[in-house]
Chain A
């Protein structure tokens, strides 16, 4: 064979081998270039150490967490289709099978348990026996939160964008949509199917208005009495479509809030001003969901971490 042809063939083979090798190496995961379109909120995730007020003390694994609350030293947990009552140390006191798809739970200080389903509620005694059952509130209802005070039970309905007021027998007494007549504050704006409420130690009804990044205070007949909150990616405010996602009230009236997107749990003064950070985003690596919150008598904060499937106890430093 002609020597020139041999050289040409060898060069061609070398070039092909080089291209194949380069292509193979350059597409390996650790060789790939950085994403030039990276979406980053890292600058908003870091928290000044001096703001951290709590330290994680305990973790309790839970299966299929749905919702929880704290009452009289016990944790009442909806886990899949069952009710679990456990001590703060994680010892199981009661397991009770429930109707399918419970969504939320409220327990009063007499340990009367109310379970919310998609569009109706069931009241149980402390042993899990049925006491009362509501009618279907509305075909379009989607109950996302419940809280009780004295003889009233308040039900946040994200489907109807309203709050129902029920009595002890779970009979509907009233409902309101948070419309105040003031042009700036006009009803509940719910970009997603999340809507949370709670009663504080002063027996005031507080409700999230996530479309406005606010917590709002209503009288029991639905009159807007006050509100606080500001839009900000910074630590002092709330961002995104659904925040504040959950909140709870400490015995002295301060608020504990949790957020999604940048997952963080913070304490705000009664005025709404940021006081401290319970858990910054770095404690929820790879997380997507905001943790649910409950507080005990000693300002300890319980978080239900849906991503890690665990209850996490945070104690003041």
Chain B
């Protein structure tokens, strides 16, 4: 003969199971938050069209977007399209010959006729002028990246919202950079 469950025990059992499931859910949710990857915003350099909005639409001023240099792709040439203004008078460091509006690219002589180009991040405003020059006339080694030591990781990135080529998306925080030329993530300079 089956055992009858009275109302009091039934309610007690339901409460016990509800509490158990609730606690398990809470633990699961907490664990998920602590073990899963966090996400940050990043630019896909192969989609970027150098529209200039990274400089003008970031909530930070100057922008958290900076030019980075894939040295493995660079031709180290004297006639760098990312450094020299179109129609430059001479190939030197004079301000009137430089393309960058803030002189954020440093040119260093290596050996005739090769030069190394380095981005001074404190001066870079992420305008992509050099990126466009480098892509059109060079190897495309200069490109934009969101620097995570500066980015405040807004819930809705202001530049992602206005990017005309949908080049900005969330990436796992463990792989925060999309660097051209086979660089390891994070190893930008």
Which residues of A are interface residues toward B (Cβ below 8 A)?
Answer: 27, 29, 32-33, 35-41, 43-44, 186, 189-192, 211-213, 231, 233-234, 239-242, 260-262, 288
A38 touches B52 (CB 8 A): yes
B136 touches A261 (CB 8 A): yes
A32 touches B162 (CB 8 A): yes
A211 with B53, Cβ < 8 A, contacts A43-B87, A241-B137 known = no
| In the bound complex, CA of A33 to CA of B87 (Å) | 26
CB distance from B96 to the nearest CB of A (A): 15
A40 neighbours in B (Cβ, 8 Å):
86
A191 touches B76 (CB 8 A): yes
Query: How many A-B contacts at CB < 8 Å in the complex?
Result: 87
CB distance from B64 to the nearest CB of A (A): 16
Enumerate 25 A-B pairs (CB-CB under 8 Å) in ascending A order.
Answer: A32-B53, A32-B162, A36-B127, A37-B127, A37-B129, A39-B136, A40-B86, A41-B86, A41-B136, A43-B86, A44-B87, A186-B112, A189-B113, A191-B79, A191-B139, A192-B139, A211-B78, A231-B91, A241-B75, A241-B77, A241-B137, A260-B136, A261-B136, A261-B137, A288-B136
B162 touches A37 (CB 8 A): no
CB distance from B63 to the nearest CB of A (A): 11
> Is residue B123 contacting chain A, with contact meaning CB distance below 8 A?
no
Q: Which of A29, A39, A212, A233 lies in contact with B87, CB distance below 8 A?
A: A233
B132 neighbours in A (Cβ, 8 Å):
39
| In the bound complex, CA of A192 to CA of B113 (Å) | 14
> Is residue B47 contacting chain A, with contact meaning CB distance below 8 A?
no
Interface of A, secondary structure class, is loop
Chain B interface size band reads 20 to 34
CB distance from B13 to the nearest CB of A (A): 49
B51 neighbours in A (Cβ, 8 Å):
35
CB distance from B32 to the nearest CB of A (A): 33
Which residue on A lies nearest to B74, using beta carbons?
A: A191
Which residue on A lies nearest to B132, using beta carbons?
A: A39
A37 with B137, Cβ < 8 A, contacts A44-B87, A231-B79, A241-B75 known = no
Which residue on A lies nearest to B52, using beta carbons?
A: A35
CB distance from A133 to the nearest CB of B (A): 32
A240 touches B76 (CB 8 A): no
CB distance from A49 to the nearest CB of B (A): 22
CB distance from B107 to the nearest CB of A (A): 14
| In the bound complex, CA of A234 to CA of B89 (Å) | 12
| In the bound complex, CA of A38 to CA of B128 (Å) | 9
A36 touches B52 (CB 8 A): yes
